[in-house]
Structure 1
Amino acid sequence: MPEDLLNAWRYAVMQLWLVPEGDPTHIGLGGRSLSGPCLDSDKRPVWLRVAALSKAGRKAFEGVHLADALLPATVPRPALVSEYAWGSDPGFIAHVWERMRGSVISTTPDLAGPVGLSPQWWADLRAALDTVHTVSLPPRRQVLTQAYVGRIARFIPEVAEAGVDLTVKKWEASHGDLHWANLGDPLEFLDWEGWGWAPVGYDAATLLTYALPQGEAATEVRTSFADVLASEEGRLAQLVSAAEVIQAAERDELHARLAPYARKSARDLLTSTPQ
């Protein structure tokens, strides 16, 4: 556990008048954050996350406030309780949320086994995401840029060989990091820091990519978002998501183990006939 983050966690606990229920239980990807359960001053259960970030990087966390202000209650998520930031280059930022009603689907972004979610859960997921995609966001909030999409052939050379048009024709407000550690059962969405504009279908494509090692879950995603994923926009979004995983495979073990599935998914897309 990174010592500087653990010290920052303890400092945030004091400043926010929290009582930790043990040490933080979750280390974020790349060791950039620590999270865990606490009680607030009224002994209500809350969740504290402390993240290290540069001064410039703090802009990303305005997403927390935008989610609180712009998303309707039909998009279930723990309510933001408080925020506290300190230091600079790097600094730290602490967020306190209400505790989840249930638990996350997976402790990692991918899946270690079957998810066993009800048909109602899948229907609620689709309905909630349809709502997210209609939200009007500031133009500057982008999950991805056209410039990045235009470079995905660096990671999937077959894209260039197939002459795929990499122009994003439609954009929509998106969660932007929709993997299995950011979803709960009962349905709740976590981690809105980075949400913004992304190619249409990007959320469904991301969820599918992280489900690929578990065939049953991948089938559920494909069924629930069949119209989105089969569209021209959805096919491009799947290629983008696959490219992101392949690129990240050089940096961490999680994406290294997902990369073969992402490569196969991209090849299958490029050799199949659009419906």
Structure 2
Amino acid sequence: MHAAAATALNATPVGTREAWGWRGRTLGRAVTTASREGWLRLVSAPADKAGGKLWEGPQEAERLMPPAVPRPSLRERRTWTEGGHGYLAELYDKITAATITTHEPILREAPDLDDAWWDDLSTALDAIATVPSDRVAVRQEYLDRAMPQYLGIPIDTKVPAWTTAHGDLHWANLTSPTLTVLDWEGWGIAPAGYDAALLHAYSLLVPDTTAQVRHQLTHILDTPAGRFAELVVITELLQTLDRGDNLDLEEPLRRRLSAITR
């Protein structure tokens, strides 16, 4: 199907690298076209689940995100159904910088990131937060149910402030040495500070980088809203343990939970 998408978009795959998404849901490869190098990403889903927010996210980000948010330009897209599955093909401009992690969102060794990179990230998060949107990344109804269950403590689950968020800001969706923010499927309204809190949580196995995230994004994290966003992220990641994901993060997440609620 990826080869069929390349043919439909007049693109030719190059090299052997294949970038698979979560549980094989997406496949990306470098391609060339008549005018430029690019990246062709194919999304697959059962036909009755194809479409909706996740499929429209990149197209909406192309339309609404300001220049202060570095992201790959979406040039063309195609959708079709075949053999009981729906497919979405997206042709992006090629990004030459490498993702900070390659196979998972969790950071396991400290990246070499300079002050300019952190400044660009801070500027991007501030810019994303101001984008008006009716898309939803995190729902209050979910928090009302999940936070008491997974945090295991009585808690006021009412979100103190809402802003727009990328919604999946982890190390495999960020590039260096030049910052690019990848994967715009799930962006939308979330608790203020959500993106910074998620990146912080995925850094917990590397204390030096955890401290760097807190220092560089202190204007977001060291606020009442930022601490609440951390509790939201901890809730979500503890829930992923039920399906066998992020197991290495359980202990540091519980330590962080204890530190916040203490």
Check whether TM > 0.5: yes
Q: Is the 8 A contact 2:71 2:182 kept in 1?
A: yes
Aligned with 1:204 (options 196, 205, 210): 196
Aligned counterparts, 1:80-119, within 5 A:
80-87=74-81, 90-107=85-102, 108-119=104-115
1:165 to 156, 160, 166: 156
Alignment counterpart, residue 256 of structure 1, candidates 231, 247, 255: 247
Q: Partners of 1:73 and 1:188 in 2: how far apart?
A: 12
Aligned residue for 2:169?
A: 178
Alignment correspondent of 2:131: 135
CA displacement, residues 123-181 of structure 1 (integer Å, 9 cap, x when unaligned): 1110111011011112xx11010011112221120x32xxx211012100110000011
What CA distance in whole angstroms lies between the structure 1 residues aligned with 2:241 and 2:41? 26
Aligned length, in residue pairs: 256
Does residue 213 in structure 1 map to residue 205 in structure 2? yes
In structure 2, the CA distance between the partners of 1:57 and 1:146, relative to structure 1 (3 Å rule), is farther
**Unaligned residue ranges in structure 2 (runs of 5+):** none
Deviation at 1:94, TM superposition (A): 1.0
Contact 2:20-2:28 at 8 Å conserved across structures: yes
CA distance in 1, matches of 2:8, 2:244: 33
Q: Is the 8 A contact 1:84 1:93 kept in 2?
A: yes
Alpha-carbon deviation of 1:56? 4.1
Question: Quick one: distance in 1 between partners of 2:6 and 2:250?
Answer: 38
In the other structure, the counterpart of 2:42 is 50
Tell whether the 8 Å contact from 2:27 to 2:42 is kept in structure 1 after alignment. yes
Contact 1:243 1:262 in 2 (8 A): no
**Partner residue, 2:216:** 224
Residues 198-222 of structure 1: CA deviation (Å, up to 9, x unaligned): 0001010001011111111111110
Per-residue deviation, 1:22: 3.3
Amino acid at match of 1:105: I
How big is the alpha-carbon RMSD for the aligned residues of Structure 1 and Structure 2? 1.5
Q: Could you list the runs of 5+ residues in structure 1 that have no partner in the other structure? A: 1-7
User: TM-score of the superposition, structure 2-length normalised?
Assistant: 0.93
Partner of residue 69, structure 1: 63
Secondary structure at the counterpart of residue 258 of structure 1: helix
**Structure 1 residue ranges, 4+ long, deviating more than 6 angstroms after superposition:** none
1:125 aligns with 2:118: no
Q: Which amino acid aligns with 1:81?
A: R
Question: Which amino acid in 2 is paired with 1:73?
Answer: P
Q: Give the stretch that moved more between structures: 22-31 or 68-77.
A: 22-31
TM-score (norm 1): 0.88
Q: Distance in 2 between matches of 1:218 and 1:148?
A: 27
Quick one: distance in 1 between partners of 2:65 and 2:218?
25
User: Matches of 2:179 and 2:204 in 1, distance apart?
Assistant: 21
Identical amino acids, percent of aligned pairs: 33
Structure 1's 57 and 154: CA in aligned 2 closer, same or farther, altered over 3 A?
farther
